[in-house]
Amino acid sequence: MEAANRLDAKELERMANKIRMHVIEMTSAAGSGHPGGSLSSAELFAALYFNILRHNPKDPEWEGRDKFVLSKGHVAPGLYAALAESGYFPTEELLTLRKLGSRLQGHPVRGKLPGIEMSTGSLGQGLSMACGLALAAKMDGKDTRIYCLVGDGELQSGQNWEALMLAAHYKLNNLTVLVDRNRLQIMGKTEETLSIDPLQAKLKAFGLNVMSIDGHNVKKIIKACKKAGTSASPAAIVLNTIKGKGVSFMENNADFHGRACKPDEKEKAVMEIQEALK
């Protein structure tokens, strides 16, 4: 995507809410899915696909593209919405989410849909894949940047930390780890299920350049990603977010980690997002 096509902060905020609208409509049509984490990552998806990433929807396999790995694959609805709005496939197809024969599976599948770099969904594995992509780019002498979104609950999986050790060892400064720090997982509060704090100190101890920002501020997301691009070591950006952001009754509500809105809930959610879009 050329710089001329990049959206400014105000446009990105609007795009984030368009992504939220798609997430509610998609998961409601499917009667299943994971809206909570998709909503908390909406600003990140908007900033990545409409400002930060070098990518070309008309040529998804373009050699010069940056690559994004959605390790927390259950929030595929948010990614699918961003890809569709970018032009990878028609937005009308979003309503086929989780339907039999659909290209939009419950978790991303490489080869099913353009723009998907890796098949993910088994939590804890995506970061290892991202490290492989980053190491391969280094070996090939490419300036490709790799971005990987992980959940804070997902960081309870040990394989993530093995991947971080590898990233630091091989000085993969073309890798940016993005942590959706919404502090909720399917079982409730992340810190009550299995604490990952002090998260920033742990990431620093594993050799990463660590930043912590408001994950709903598109300007700060862009600034942090630019700073990560100048780092001599792998970077980690902790995005402090609200699960279910943008819909009042879904915010900080673990029940919506893996549950779609009921018809009356959907109506209320759509009204709230429409108000934000105004």
Give the pLDDT score at 239: 98
Convert the pLDDT of each residue in 182-209 to its tens digit. 999 999 999 999 999 999 999 999 999 9
CA separation for the pair 202, 199 (Å, rounded)? 5
Convert the pLDDT of each residue in 147-180 to its tens digit. 999 999 999 999 999 999 999 999 999 999 999 9
CA separation for the pair 75, 80 (Å, rounded)? 9
Mean pLDDT computed over every residue of the chain: 97
Q: Which two tokens stand for residue 60?
A: 């998804």
What mean pLDDT do residues 96-113 have? 97
CA separation for the pair 23, 33 (Å, rounded)? 9
DSSP string, 234-278: -EEEEEE--TTTTSTTTTT-GGGSS-PPPHHHHHHHHHHHHHHH-
CA separation for the pair 15, 159 (Å, rounded)? 33
What mean pLDDT do residues 58-72 have? 97
Number of Cα atoms under 13 Å in the Cβ half of residue 87: 9
What CATH number does the domain located at 3-277 have? 3.40.50.970
Which amino acid would we find at residue 272?
E
CA separation for the pair 109, 96 (Å, rounded)? 15
> Domain-by-domain residue ranges, the chain?
3-277
Convert the pLDDT of each residue in 221-256 to its tens digit. 999 999 999 999 999 999 999 999 999 999 999 999
CA separation for the pair 152, 89 (Å, rounded)? 30
pLDDT at 2 over 60: no
Q: Three-state SS for 3?
A: helix
Give the pLDDT score at 3: 41
Give the pLDDT score at 267: 98
Rg of the chain (C-alpha set): 17
Q: Where would I find the H helices in 99-229?
A: 126-139, 159-169, 190-194, 199-205, 218-228
Contact 216, 242 (CB under 8 A): yes
Reported confidence tier of residue 5, pLDDT bands at 50, 70, 90: low
Convert the pLDDT of each residue in 15-40 to its tens digit. 999 999 999 999 999 999 999 999 99
